[in-house]
Amino acid sequence: MMRTPKIAATLILSILPVAALAVELPQRYVLTVELAEKIAKEAIAECEKSDVSISASVVNDQGSLVYFSRGNGTGANTVHTSFRKAYTSAALKIPTSVLSRAPEAEGFSQLGKMEDDILLLTGGLPVFYEGMLVGALGLSGAPDPDLEEECGEISIERVITGGVD
């Protein structure tokens, strides 16, 4: 009968060191397909208010495509261009409008040659949630890339924070 408490004590003592060494992994937020779809559709609808059709790509924090929507009448080039803008913004964690001026800055002339999907054109915006990058939005097709960025900013604000009316 004395063996059972000794076995139990041995088991408990053997588990304790493992529990003491356990590491808590950081939590991260994930951009779902549903949220990505809302962001893309909101951006397209916002640009349509200015009678402009665009295509929208939404990528996750690693630059992988989560959702794509092509606006009516947009050119074939908008498919890959919107993806590349989103990818660039996710990879470098800043709006592509900031990057579009980089090749002219001293010391940054090679930035656009980093890899094939980096595109230094306005229209890509990172998507942050509680200070953490969760993805990026890339827009293409507007005659004015500043309009793309404006539509994107509004859509992200509406969907992520519930703001802007």
pLDDT in tens, 23-67: 899 889 999 999 999 999 999 999 999 999 999 999 999 999 999
Tokens coding 35: 């949220």
- In the chain, count of helices (H) and strands (E)? 5, 4
Q: Which residues of the chain have pLDDT under 50?
A: none
pLDDT reported for residue 7? 67
Contact residues for 150 (Cβ-Cβ < 8 A; gap 6+): 46
Query: What is the DSSP code (8-state) at residue 22?
Result: -
Answer whether 0.85 is exceeded by the pTM: no
Instruction: State how far Cα 86 lies from the chain centre.
Output: 7
CATH of 33-161 among 3.40.190.10, 2.60.40.10, 1.10.3720.10, 3.30.450.150? 3.30.450.150
* Domain boundaries defined on the chain: 33-161
Tokens coding 39: 């962001």
Q: Is 6 exposed, middle or buried (0-12, 13-18, 19+ CB in 10 A)?
A: exposed
pLDDT reported for residue 79? 97
For tokens 């470098």, name the residue. Answer: 92
